[in-house]
Amino acid sequence: MILLLFFIFTEDQPDPLRLPTKHNIKMAMYWLVKDCKAGDSLVFHYSGHGSQQRNRDGSEVDGFDETILPLDFETQGMIVDDDINLSLVRPLTHGVRLHAIVDACHSGTVLDLPFLCRMHSNGQYVWEDHRPRNGAWKGTNGGEAYCFSGCDDSQTSADTSALSQVTYTGAMTYCFIQAIERGHAGTYRDLLYNMRHGIRNSDVGRPSGPVSTLIEMLLTGGSYNPNHVQEPQLTASYMFDIGTRFYI
């Protein structure tokens, strides 16, 4: 038997408990993994704004923590990758599998998972070790965790109507769905490659308007680079052969 339970948070919800506030998002993370047991398959999807902030404890290879921005981030603060890892990754016990899909700017390592799959344009890949230099444990408690993210940590993710031709969607989310619906997502390699291929061919892997660009510059204190075409990333709690492991 397959049991589907889910929460959906959007900013136009009349119910305050369904708004994507910091408290509600963190409580939903807790609910998702609470009492998880062998055989459970969990999914976490976030599509929204993401950013970075200076890392102070030496646990990040690039010196930055990745963050997601809840609706009330201006008053309550951002949700940092350390907290996401602690909430979603650490509780996963043996036999439990988590897939996260995070379509946001600077989301490459937003779950703080130990390993990043660096894929080249020809589909070849290597695993990078992103375990913290200070020795902090960022893996699971025996379970499996995988995260498909919208772009690399240094990049931004596009919100565009160029793909659907109907309404604005996250480029990564759209290409993720298209790869699955068209049967191009047999293995993890197939899925990642076709997501990246779809964005690259559509030439929409750049922020589509001044709002996301301005938010990025204000939050990071940096400058926007229009040549940073987004490249979806895969991170995981362990290294594996993405060409032989089936996604579905």
Q: Is residue 59 part of a domain?
A: yes
- What is the predicted pLDDT for the residue at 248? 66
Tokens of 1: 């038997």
The residue with greater pLDDT, 248 or 92, is 92
Q: Which residues contact 93 (CB under 8 A, 6 or more apart)?
A: 36, 37, 38, 140, 141, 142, 143
* Gap between the Cα atoms of 105 and 230, Å rounded: 9
Confidence at 217, pLDDT banded by 50, 70, 90: low
Which range of residues forms the domain containing residue 222? 22-236
CATH assignment at residue 33: 3.40.50.12660
Please, which pLDDT band fits residue 102 given cuts at 50, 70 and 90? very high
For residue 217, tell me if it sits in a domain.
Answer: yes
Inside any domain, residue 34 = yes
How many domains in the chain?
Answer: 1
> Which range, of 58-67, 153-162, 169-178, 200-209, averages the lowest pLDDT?
200-209
Is the pLDDT score of 220 beyond 50?
no
Res. 2: pLDDT tops 60? no
- 185, 247 contact by CB (below 8 A): yes
Inside any domain, residue 216: yes
Classify residue 7: in a domain, yes or no: no
Whether 152 is covered by a domain: the verdict is yes
- Give residue-wise pLDDT tens across range 124-169: 999 999 998 888 899 999 999 999 999 999 999 988 766 666 777 8
Which residues are marked as active site?
A: 49, 105
28 lies in a domain? yes
> Is residue 190, in this structure, part of any structural domain at all?
yes
